[in-house]
Chains A and B, each alone.
Chain A
Amino acid sequence: MARLAACGLLIFLATMGVAGAEGLSVTVADPYLELRTGPGRGFPVFHVVERGESVEVETRRTDWFQVVDAGGHEGWVHKSQMAETLIPAGVKMEIDDPGREDFGTHRREVGLLVGDYGGANVITVYGSYAFNEHLAGEVALSHLLGNFSDGQYATIGVTHVPVPEWRIQPFLSIGTGVINVQPKGTLTGTQERTDQVAYAGIGVRAYIARRFIVRGEYKEYVVFTDRDENEEDIEWKIGFAFFF
């Protein structure tokens, strides 16, 4: 599993394209624009560009924009100051960042959850796509790490958010998937098995800042075994996610 993750990471690195830089020239409309030596509030201001002069925007890292002025001074400007500059059309530069008002109407969400599945530790990576404000489809991959067995499970399901306007949003979920469990090497007499599962759950997700949310959930699973009785497991997880 760890080797699989390492391979996945390398493939991800290889396929990530580097977006081409596109120069944008903006004119300073505030009395001055402060250029810092680094992309952070602690870095010192080493140069100011006066009103009426223009700067070229090179790149952006988190809330900081790297700009270069006519004199070749290259520095980092905060988003709040960039929003007061004018683009060539003569209007203020619009910085379209996701915020609180986008939470609930967003389409995509990717997150990491950690918790407990039937007494074993579980790590889950999930992605969801919202069909509308209330209903989203969700795919999750989980790694199960217990004292007696290891395993993986993959599920696909839907979540329903009754009130997408709230900052803290409860949701319901239902879905199905496949689980593969391998007993630990030190135990004998048990076999690796693959079964279908189905789940129903409740959870809550809350907006923190920017595109960042925390999420917790509780699910009840039914494992359709080939034995006389189905197995029932309880899962709870907590983690963080991004929406975009």
Chain B
Amino acid sequence: MENRIRILLLSAVVLAAGCSHMPWRKDAPEAEPPPPPEAGQAPVVIEPQVERREVKPAKIDTENWEAGIYVGSLSVEDFEVNPVFGARIAYHISEDFFAEAIAGTSDAGLSSFERLSGGAPLLTDSERQFTYYSLGFGWNALPGEIFLGGKHAYNSALYLTLGAGGTRFAGDDHFTLTAGAGVRVLLKDWLAVHLDMRDHVMEIDVLGSNKTSHNYEASLGVTAFF
């Protein structure tokens, strides 16, 4: 009897021990031995902490724009010579070329016909206002320096311009081609004086028939580079 009990207990212990070693039992974590150190690798003592300097492209102030105003006289064909006021903006693409926008206004006078006939005027006051704009480009044909006396030298350029635009005159808008030549003298690196000659060419029919009208303008202006 005692022997039977002993066998029962023993078999229970064996069973429990056998179950605990069954391969699908995973609830008991097994301590794995650490991997052997690889041959030839020195132990790491210091982590290198090199801080890379970030190199950004330099931010440099550019001065390719030029803007300013001008005053001069405009000869409106058949309608006398009158003062003209205008503004100009240019973008310098390279040392040779620039893009340019100009706009100006003037009040045309009386034509010889109106003056001599003594009759009714051809145009009303608002129609007599000559307002133009022109968009185009220019070429610095002759860059150089202007010398004043022995001590002063100013950078300068003689340039040629060509533009297209519109002119409001005699109650209508007219397609206008503007060709010009000018001299730019830099008093300072940022300040320039311009002397410009321009011809505004358009088709006009104020005096009955269509004709090509040349309107010459001479002006003096100041511009600033920014």
Contact = CB atoms under 8 A, between A and B. Distances in A.
Contacts of A59: 60-63, 189
Interface string A191-218: 0000000000000000001111000000
In this complex, which of B61, B132, B155, B170 has the most chain A Cβ atoms within 10 angstroms of its Cβ?
B61
Interface string B131-147: 11101110010011100
A70 interface: no
Interface residues of A, number: 60
Interface majority SS (helix, strand, loop, mixed), chain B = strand
B132 A212 contact: no
B97 to A, nearest CB: 8
Interface string A13-43: 1001011111010000000000001111111
Contacts of A184: 172
A214 to B, nearest CB: 11
Contact of B174 (A22, A43, A114, A145): A145
Given A2-B173, A3-B105, A41 B95 contact: yes
A1 B58 CA distance: 42
Interface stretch (A85-93, A158-166, A221-229): A85-93
A234 interface: no
B62 A60 contact: yes
Contacts, number: 152
A10 interface: yes
Given A24-B60, A123-B135, A186-B205, A62 B55 contact: no
B64 interface: yes
A38 B184 CA distance: 13
B159 interface: no
Contacts of B225: 61
Contacts of B205: 186
By size class, the interface of chain B is 35 or more
A5 B86 CA distance: 11
A209 B95 CA distance: 13
A63 to B, nearest CB: 6
A43 B145 contact: yes
A114 B164 contact: yes
B158 interface: no
Given A21-B61, A61-B62, A184-B172, A13 B143 contact: no
A40 B57 CA distance: 24
A21 B190 CA distance: 13
Interface in A29-73: 37-43, 57-66
Contacts of B164: 114, 121, 123
B166 A1 contact: yes
B21 interface: no
Contact of A9 (B99, B101, B186, B226): B101
Given A24-B58, A185-B172, A37 B153 contact: yes
A145 B63 CA distance: 35
Nearest to A97: B57
Contacts of A150: 172-173
In this complex, which of A38, A42, A60, A93 has the most chain B Cβ atoms within 10 angstroms of its Cβ?
A38
Given A5-B133, A37-B155, 15 more contacts: A2-B103, A3-B168, A13-B67, A21-B61, A59-B61, A60-B62, A93-B58, A95-B57, A114-B164, A121-B175, A123-B165, A145-B173, A145-B174, A185-B172, A242-B93
Interface of A: 1-3, 5-6, 9-10, 12-13, 16, 18-22, 24, 37-43, 57-66, 87, 89, 91, 93-96, 112, 114, 120-121, 123, 125, 143, 145-147, 150, 184-186, 209-212, 240, 242
User: Shortest 10 CB-CB distances between A and B: which pairs?
Assistant: A145-B175, A121-B175, A6-B103, A5-B133, A2-B131, A38-B155, A150-B173, A185-B171, A21-B61, A96-B57
29 contacts: A1-B168, A2-B133, A2-B167, A9-B87, A9-B103, A9-B133, A13-B89, A22-B59, A37-B153, A38-B145, A38-B155, A38-B186, A42-B143, A43-B143, A43-B145, A57-B58, A60-B61, A60-B63, A61-B92, A62-B92, A94-B55, A95-B58, A96-B57, A112-B135, A143-B166, A146-B175, A147-B203, A150-B172, A242-B91
